[in-house]
Every structure is written in C-alpha cells, then in structure tokens.
Chains A and B, each alone.
Chain A
C-alpha cells in the first residue's frame, strides 16, 4: 500500500531524525571538539585563553613515563580480567546450565553483581581488602596463610582489581554462554553417547568447538567494556598506590579534571578512543575470519 500523506511517506526519516540528531550533537560533535582541544593548551581558566600548540600535547604524552605506565596497566588489567572471566564464565555456565532445583533463582542471584551499583560495590571491596579488618585477610588467616596488602600494595593492586572485575563481570560471560548452550543441537551428543564418550570428551570435542562463535562474541563485548573500566578503580584506588593501577581512562580523567590540563587530557583521550575503536574493529575482523575457517 502506498502511503498517501506527506507525514507517512517520510515516516522513516521523521522517526529516526530526533535520535540521530541527539547522537550527532551529544557524541559526534564532542568527539570532534575533543580532537580540536587536543591541539591547544587549555586550562579552563578565565584569564589565560586557549593557545594553539599543534602536536605538542601528543609529543609530551609520548615522552611521558606516566602515560606509558597507564598503557601497560590498561593492558595488564584488561587481559588478566578477560582471561579469568572467560575461563570461569564458561565453567560456571556449564555448572548452572544443568537441571536442578531452584535453577532460576540461583541464576538470578548469580547475575546480581553486574547490575549492582559499581561505585557502591567498589567501596564494599575496599572494606573487604582493608589489611587489618577486611574479610580477605581474615580468610587468609583462617587457612593459615600470611595476610596481604591487596590494593594497598603496588605489586598486588592490579591483581586485586582484577578479582573485583571478575566478580562483577564473569556473570555476563556465563549469561551469553548459557544462551549459546541452549541453541546447540542434540544429535552430536546422542551420537557421542552411542560411541561411549565420557563427559569430558563431550565437553572438549563437542561443546567447546560448537560454542566457539558464542565465546568469541562474549570476549569481544567484554573487551570493549573492560578497557573502559572506571568506577571500580576510581572508587577503590584512584589509580594508586604510586600510580600502579592508573589505566588510560583514569589518567585521562585525572589530567582533565584534577590537573585541568584539558589539552593534554584530550590528546590522551584521542589516543584512547583510537585504541578502543581499533581493537574493536580488529575483533570484528578476527571473528569473521574465524567463522569462515570453521
């Protein structure tokens, strides 16, 4: 049927335009603005006007030890969290996918960490990690182990933060993997049963290969978010001690809103933006290639 009135003929544009305009105004324009600020020395002060400095912010950043340390921290944190969450997430998905009583309730309980307010949870973990009164050391003592400094130690801080991230986000990997499990065909398992395969054999030779596309999607989504982790780090360590847990996101925030070096912060954010987009595109490309090769 051919729509008759003007409004109807242009419905698809009228319906999408407000949302598109909003995204252009609130997202695309600010990104371009950030790129522009990155070429200026800009301090938000009323007396000193912004000054064009060309690529000086970028070259200052590339020779800044603190920048490189934040790059390293971002990757160590992200890769560590991603590996642990993937292995644990698949294992827990297998565990919760079985039929048992109270399954739905247990699944919901397990999903709560990912909806709970991250800042509040960061503060709870701050108490858990408190060296003298925190639960973490009480547990260690219970098993006869020496107490640790956790987030107060430059050496243990990243691992301690990974634990928080694993607690918060493993449920997401499990959720996606469980959705993937429910789409697997039954026939290969019946054939394997006839051949007398053990549970482990079925897992490694059937379930895992068939789940591969699902796991890749889960890892990709998690990677996009883990690189941007802010709340749990800022509410527990603010990048400390001694900047040992300062990721790109945290350093950019500190440069911009504590030191008010808006130009330098913007150049860091442009690099961060390129990094996240680049890695995402790489993952999409990798996923396509892997799917072709299956």
Chain B
C-alpha cells in the first residue's frame, strides 16, 4: 500500500513537471531566441548552447525607438486605469450598498459584447473629432475594458466589508459620501490593488483598439511589435527581444503580486 502511494506520487510529480515545462516553454524559448543572432536562430544545432548577444536589445532601442512606445503604453495603461478607478469605485460602492443589480448587469454586458462592434463608430467619430492618434481616444477605448472589470471586482469587495464600520461613521456625524471617502476607501486597498493591476495589464496587452486608434505619435507596444513583421525578412532576434520587453513588466507584476493577481483573475472569472 505504502509503496503504491509513493509510486503514484512520483508519477503525479512527473506529470506536474511536464505540464509546467510545456506551459512555460514558449517563455523560455522567447528569452533564449532574444539573445541569439539571426544565424544562430537559423541553425538548428545551436539550441541551448550558444554565444549570447545583447545586440537585439540595443537594436530594438536604438533603431526602432522602443523607449517611446514603452512610455506610450505606460501612459495609456496608467491613464485608463486611473479613469476607470475614478468612475468605477463610486459606482461599484453604490451598486453594492444600494443593491442596484440592473446597473451591475449593464456593466457586465460590456464584457460580453465583442469589442470590434464599437470600433467602426469609434473610428468614424474620433476621425471627425481629430482624435485618432491621440491619447484621449486610446485611454477612453481602453477604459471600456478596465471599467467593467474594476466595477465587477469592487462590487464583491465592497459587499464583503462589514457594514458596522460604516454605520459607526454615520452615527459619528459623517455624511454618506464622507463615509465612502474617509472610511471605506482607506480600507479597500487590497481590492483596489487587485483590480488596478489587472486593468493596467489588460490595457498594456490591448491590441485591437490600439491598432486602429493609435498613430505615429501614440503607438503602443503591441502595435509597434506587430509592425516589426511587415519588414521583408523577419529579424527574429529583434522580434523576440521586443516580445520580451513587452511581456517582462506583466510577468514581473504577476510574480511579485501573485496573491492579488490570482484573486483578481478568480473573482473576475467566477463572478461573471
């Protein structure tokens, strides 16, 4: 009996290892290729052992001006997350406290509808307003992803807070809005961190809205890296270096704040 358990455990550990290897291999592969020259990538005998080069990274920054795209991506992600918090936190609080389910439902529908349905009108309207290739249109469009998510996560967070604290505040003479600003928000840190980090990541990763609404001045990282491919011969090393640069911040956030990310993904998913 005992021997059998040990064998089972060994098999399960082996399987776990294979699963993790398979799921992380594209990352390992991307990282390795980003340090290879084009010739090394082309030859199949220099798989794991090769003379690493950082030339791809310096190319990406010097030739293609990646720093600007990083700043653009950061501005759009930070701006849309901030805007979503500004509109989303009070809304989520009101929906949670006053049981406004029908409004919660409208917000949820935003997650179901295909984003591409909005894209043609947005493009027409933003063109007329001269807002294509502006941070305004990018931030507004990315907020349509961030806002429903933040509201959704924060509704369940606010519902979980003990109401006694708020009642105590009211008895002490606070108005409802003071209760929200001075009592509820300061103890909502974990919920705000979780929903903001994911809203930031969703905006950072967004491709479909950015490729239409961004231009030369506001191009974000996913659009910039996609444009790499249009050169006649693909420069694989530089492409992989660019892919690493985009992905690295997200992976670092996910690893450092794993508790928040996991709970946010679970809440966003299960509540839906």
Contact = CB atoms under 8 A, between A and B. Distances in A.
A16 B94 contact: yes
B111 to A, nearest CB: 8
Nearest to B90: A15
Contact of A37 (B95, B120, B222, B246): B120
Interface stretch (B56-64, B188-196, B263-271): B263-271
Interface in A244-273: 249, 252-253, 256-257, 262, 265-266, 269-270, 272-273
Nearest to A120: B243
B33 A127 contact: yes
A37 B121 contact: yes
B183 interface: no
A44 B124 contact: yes
B50 interface: no
B254 A112 contact: yes
A286 to B, nearest CB: 16
A8 B175 contact: yes
Interface in A23-57: 23, 26-27, 29-31, 33-34, 37, 44
A167 B23 contact: yes
Given A109-B20, A179-B270, A12 B121 contact: no
A99 to B, nearest CB: 11
A79 interface: no
A112 B251 contact: yes
Interface in A151-186: 167, 170-172, 175-176, 179
A138 B44 contact: yes
A171 B23 CA distance: 9
Nearest to B224: A119
A1 B26 contact: no
A269 B117 contact: yes
Interface string A106-121: 1111111111111111
Contacts of B117: 30-31, 34, 269-270, 272-273
A217 B269 CA distance: 9
Contact of A15 (B93, B254, B265): B93
B217 interface: no
Given A12-B100, A249-B116, A19 B107 contact: yes
Interface residues of B, number: 96
Given A11-B177, A15-B91, A18-B90, A119 B118 contact: no
Interface in B61-105: 86-88, 90-91, 93-95, 97-98, 100, 103
Contacts of A257: 119, 123, 212
Given A27-B113, A117-B221, A230-B208, A123 B243 contact: yes
Given A117-B221, A179-B270, A26 B114 contact: no
A273 B100 CA distance: 26
A192 interface: no
Given A98-B12, A115-B251, A22 B143 contact: yes
A273 B116 CA distance: 9
Given A15-B93, A252-B116, A127 B42 contact: no
B147 A125 contact: no
Given A27-B144, A29-B121, A175 B262 contact: yes
Interface string A88-104: 00001001101010001
A3 B175 contact: yes
A179 B221 CA distance: 33
B49 interface: no
Given A117-B221, A123-B239, A16 B23 contact: no
Interface string B24-44: 111101100100000001111
Nearest to A21: B87
B247 A266 contact: no
A7 interface: yes
Contact of A109 (B24, B47, B123, B127): B24
A243 interface: no
23 contacts: A12-B94, A15-B90, A16-B94, A19-B88, A19-B91, A23-B110, A34-B121, A37-B124, A95-B16, A96-B16, A113-B23, A115-B201, A116-B27, A116-B251, A117-B246, A118-B205, A118-B207, A120-B247, A121-B243, A123-B226, A175-B262, A257-B212, A265-B120
Interface of B: 12-13, 15-16, 19-20, 22-27, 29-30, 33, 41-44, 47, 86-88, 90-91, 93-95, 97-98, 100, 103, 106-107, 110-125, 127, 140-141, 143-144, 147-148, 151, 170-171, 175-177, 180, 201, 204-205, 207-208, 212, 221-222, 225-226, 228-229, 236, 239-240, 242-243, 246-247, 250-251, 253-255, 258, 261-262, 265-266, 269-270, 272
Given A19-B107, A95-B16, 6 more contacts: A112-B254, A115-B205, A116-B27, A123-B239, A272-B114, A273-B113
